[in-house]
């Protein structure tokens, strides 16, 4: 008995030439020649990775244009500025911010101020403040 195989999944797995039809005898058909789910999962992995990379590129572009939301958190002892983001929606930032603040609290930091800003922010996202007195006066102005 002959089996006529021309499915895209079979051809993808076995590197068939497009538009060609392949005939196999079922007695010679073994596990290696049968389409498997590993190809489907491989395609899902490729799609997931490409979607993630596209999302990262979208956020990077939004950050360069200053269209994304950031939280600027200043702490005292130790004196640091932490930038948390980027987020496309302010609501998403506000949903995630309590978790970030609780992580800072676990590190025994004293929260000085927090601001929600729509801006562009570049590395580094954690900055040590040199003169804490000047930082406090610039925040209150």
Specify the 3-state DSSP secondary structure of 77. Answer: coil
Nearest to 92 by CA among 122, 118, 120: 118
pLDDT, tens digit, for every residue of 24-66? 445 544 445 555 667 777 888 888 989 989 888 888 888 888 8
- Placement of tokens 């196999």 in the chain: 24
User: How many Å apart are CA 141 and CA 138, to the nearest integer?
Assistant: 5
| Predicted pLDDT of residue 131 | 61
User: How many Å apart are CA 100 and CA 130, to the nearest integer?
Assistant: 23
10 Å Cβ neighbour count for 57?
10
pTM above 0.75, yes or no: no
Radius of gyration, CA atoms only, the chain:
27
| Predicted pLDDT of residue 15 | 52
| Predicted pLDDT of residue 114 | 93
pLDDT, tens digit, for every residue of 82-132? 999 999 999 999 999 999 999 988 888 888 899 999 999 888 888 988 764
Nearest to 8 by CA among 24, 26, 27, 21: 21
Q: Taken in order 130, 70, 109, 141, is the CA torsion positive or negative?
A: positive
Q: What tokens does 101 get?
A: 């603040």
Residues 62 and 68: beta-carbon distance below 8 Å: yes
Residues 27 and 7: beta-carbon distance below 8 Å: no
Nearest to 113 by CA among 128, 134, 135: 135
């Amino acid at each position: 008995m002959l089996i006529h195989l021309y499915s895209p999944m079979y051809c993808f797995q076995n590197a068939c030439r497009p538009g060609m039809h392949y005939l196999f005898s079922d007695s010679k058909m073994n596990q290696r020649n049968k389409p498997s789910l590993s190809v489907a999962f491989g395609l899902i992995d490729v799609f997931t990775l490409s979607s993630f990379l596209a999302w990262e590129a979208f956020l990077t572009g939004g950050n360069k244009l200053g269209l994304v939301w950031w939280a600027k958190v200043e702490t005292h002892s130790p004196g640091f500025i932490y930038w948390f983001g980027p987020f496309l929606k302010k609501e998403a930032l506000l949903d995630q911010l309590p978790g970030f603040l609780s992580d800072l609290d676990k590190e025994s930091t004293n929260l000085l101020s927090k601001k929600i800003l729509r801006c562009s922010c570049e590395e580094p996202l954690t900055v040590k403040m040199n003169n804490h007195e000047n930082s406090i006066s610039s925040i209150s102005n």
